Structure 1
Amino acid sequence: MTPFEGGSPKSYHDSRLASDPESDPIFRNNDLNMDVLYRSGETQQGVSTYTPRLLSLNFKGSLGSMSSHGTLYNEASSSRSDSSKTWFGDVDTQRSEPRKRNLFQQSLYEEEVQAEIEDKDIVGCLDEGVECWTDFSKSHYHPQSLYELSGLWMDSQDFNNYGIGKDVFSEASRGEEICDRLRFFVEECDHIQGIKFLVDDSGGFSALAGDFLETMADDYTNIPVLLYSLRSHQTSSSKKKTVSNKLHDAISFSRLSSFCKLFTPIGLPSLSGTKYLNLGDEKPYRSSGVYAAALHSSTLPFRMQQHTSSDSSEASNAMDVNTLVQLLTNRGRQNIVAILDSAMPAGKLLEKTLLTDLQTLTPEVTEDVEDNQSVESMCVLGALSSEDKEATVSQVRNAVDASYEQMENNTKPLFCNLSVSRCPLPVPLPFPSIFGNLVGRKGEILSSPVSSDSPYKGSLDVHSVPVATRWRSSSAVLPFLESRMVNLEKLGIQWGAMGSDVVREWGFGREELQEMRENLSKMVSELSPHQFSESSDSD
Structure 2
Amino acid sequence: MDELLGLAEENNGDPVYKNTDMDMDVFYRAGETHQGIPTYTPRLLSIDMQGALGSLRASGSLYEGVPSLDASSVVTWKGKSTKHVSEPHKKNLFLQSLEDEDESLSYCNELAGGIEDNQTQEDKDKQCVDCLENGVEFWTDYSKVHFHPQSLFELNGLWRGPHEFNNYGTGREVFSECLQGEEISTRLRFFVEECDHMQGFQFIVDDSGGFSSVAAEFLEQISDEYRNIPILLYAARGPDSYTNIPSWKASMSKNLHDAISFSRLSSFCNLMVPLGLPSLSQSDASRFLCVDDAKPFHTSAVYAAALHSISLPFRMMLPGPSANSELIAGALDIGTMTQMLSGQAWQNMVTILDMAMPSPLIGERNEVGLHRSLRSLTPNIAEGSEDRRGVETMVIHGALLSGGSRASIHQVKNSIEYGYQNQAIRPLFSHLSTSLCPLPIPLPFPSIFGNRIGGYGEILEEPIFGVRARGSLGVSSIPMATRLRSSKAILPFIEKRLADIRKLGTARGSYGVELLQSWGFQKDEVDDMAEGLAKMAHALKDQPEISSDSD
- Following the alignment from structure 2 to structure 1, what is the Cα–Cα distance between the partners of residues 72 and 57? 20
- Following the alignment from structure 1 to structure 2, what is the Cα–Cα distance between the partners of residues 269 and 85? 55
2:315 to 296, 303, 309: 303
**1:229 and 1:266 in contact (8 A); partners too:** yes
- Following the alignment from structure 1 to structure 2, what is the Cα–Cα distance between the partners of residues 478 and 171? 37
The equivalent residue for 2:249 is 240
With normalisation by structure 1, the TM-score equals 0.93
Q: Which amino acid aligns with 1:146?
A: L
- Following the alignment from structure 2 to structure 1, what is the Cα–Cα distance between the partners of residues 324 and 81? 73
Spell out the pairing of 1:26-175 with structure 2 (5 A cutoff).
26-79=16-69, 86-110=76-100, 112-114=103-105, 118-175=124-181
**1:14 and 1:428 in contact (8 A); partners too:** no
The equivalent residue for 1:180 is 186
Distance 1:287 1:387, change over 3 A: farther
The equivalent residue for 2:384 is 368
1:279 to 278, 291, 294: 291
Q: What are the superposed Cα offsets for residues 34-78 of structure 1, whole Å, 9 maximum, x if unpaired?
A: 100000000011100000010011111110000000000113243
**2:21 and 2:328 in contact (8 A); partners too:** no
Q: Which amino acid aligns with 2:422?
A: Q
Distance 1:51 1:78, change over 3 A: same
Superposition RMSD in Å: 2.2
**1:344 and 1:465 in contact (8 A); partners too:** yes
* Structure 2: 5+ residue stretches without partners: 110-123
- Following the alignment from structure 2 to structure 1, what is the Cα–Cα distance between the partners of residues 15 and 289? 27
1:401 to 407, 417, 425: 417
**2:346 and 2:543 in contact (8 A); partners too:** no
- Following the alignment from structure 1 to structure 2, what is the Cα–Cα distance between the partners of residues 96 and 131? 17
Q: What are the superposed Cα offsets for residues 1-60 of structure 1, whole Å, 9 maximum, x if unpaired?
A: xxxxxxxxxx97535533455542001111100100000000011100000010011111
Give the percent of matched residue pairs that are identical in Structure 1 and Structure 2: 50
Q: What are the superposed Cα offsets for residues 341-362 of structure 1, whole Å, 9 maximum, x if unpaired?
A: 0111100111132223211000
- Following the alignment from structure 2 to structure 1, what is the Cα–Cα distance between the partners of residues 84 and 327? 62
How many residues align? The count is 522
* Structure 1: 5+ residue stretches without partners: 1-10
- Following the alignment from structure 1 to structure 2, what is the Cα–Cα distance between the partners of residues 313 and 285? 35
- Following the alignment from structure 2 to structure 1, what is the Cα–Cα distance between the partners of residues 299 and 422? 31
Q: What are the superposed Cα offsets for residues 252-299 of structure 1, whole Å, 9 maximum, x if unpaired?
A: 010010000010000000111311100021111101111000000001
The equivalent residue for 1:190 is 196
Q: Which amino acid aligns with 2:301?
A: G
- Following the alignment from structure 2 to structure 1, what is the Cα–Cα distance between the partners of residues 71 and 540? 53
2:508 to 495, 511, 527: 495
The equivalent residue for 2:121 is none
- Following the alignment from structure 2 to structure 1, what is the Cα–Cα distance between the partners of residues 51 and 72? 20
The equivalent residue for 1:6 is none
Displacement of 1:314 in angstroms is 7.3
- Following the alignment from structure 1 to structure 2, what is the Cα–Cα distance between the partners of residues 270 and 133? 20
Q: Which amino acid aligns with 1:93?
A: K
Q: What are the superposed Cα offsets for residues 459-502 of structure 1, whole Å, 9 maximum, x if unpaired?
A: 01000000000000000000010000110000010101231221
- Following the alignment from structure 1 to structure 2, what is the Cα–Cα distance between the partners of residues 510 and 476? 30
Question: SS of the residue aligned with 2:31?
Answer: strand
With normalisation by structure 2, the TM-score equals 0.91
Displacement of 1:83 in angstroms is 11
Q: What are the superposed Cα offsets for residues 103-140 of structure 1, whole Å, 9 maximum, x if unpaired?
A: 11101124544486710001001110111110011110
Distance 1:83 1:170, change over 3 A: farther
Question: SS of the residue aligned with 2:544?
Answer: helix
The equivalent residue for 2:335 is 322
Q: Which amino acid aligns with 1:445?
A: I
Once the two structures are overlaid, the 10-residue window that deviates more, 473-482 or 348-357, is 348-357
The equivalent residue for 1:214 is 220
- Following the alignment from structure 2 to structure 1, what is the Cα–Cα distance between the partners of residues 191 and 146? 16
- Following the alignment from structure 1 to structure 2, what is the Cα–Cα distance between the partners of residues 152 and 230? 21
The equivalent residue for 2:258 is 249
Question: SS of the residue aligned with 1:252?
Answer: helix
Q: Which amino acid aligns with 2:216?
A: G
Displacement of 1:174 in angstroms is 0.3
Question: SS of the residue aligned with 1:40?
Answer: strand
The equivalent residue for 1:458 is 471
1:266 to 275, 280, 283: 275
- Following the alignment from structure 1 to structure 2, what is the Cα–Cα distance between the partners of residues 258 and 459? 40
Question: SS of the residue aligned with 2:470?
Answer: coil
The equivalent residue for 1:436 is 450
- Following the alignment from structure 1 to structure 2, what is the Cα–Cα distance between the partners of residues 312 and 72? 38
- Following the alignment from structure 1 to structure 2, what is the Cα–Cα distance between the partners of residues 65 and 182? 24
Displacement of 1:384 in angstroms is 0.4
- Following the alignment from structure 1 to structure 2, what is the Cα–Cα distance between the partners of residues 26 and 92? 59
- Following the alignment from structure 1 to structure 2, what is the Cα–Cα distance between the partners of residues 113 and 480? 54
Distance 1:313 1:24, change over 3 A: closer
**1:314 and 1:393 in contact (8 A); partners too:** yes
**2:270 and 2:342 in contact (8 A); partners too:** no
Q: Which amino acid aligns with 2:487?
A: S
Distance 1:163 1:408, change over 3 A: same
Distance 1:81 1:282, change over 3 A: farther
Q: Which amino acid aligns with 2:125?
A: D
Displacement of 1:523 in angstroms is 1.0
In the alignment, structure 1 residue 468 sits paired with structure 2 residue 481: yes
**2:316 and 2:328 in contact (8 A); partners too:** no
- Following the alignment from structure 2 to structure 1, what is the Cα–Cα distance between the partners of residues 82 and 75? 14
Distance 1:311 1:283, change over 3 A: closer
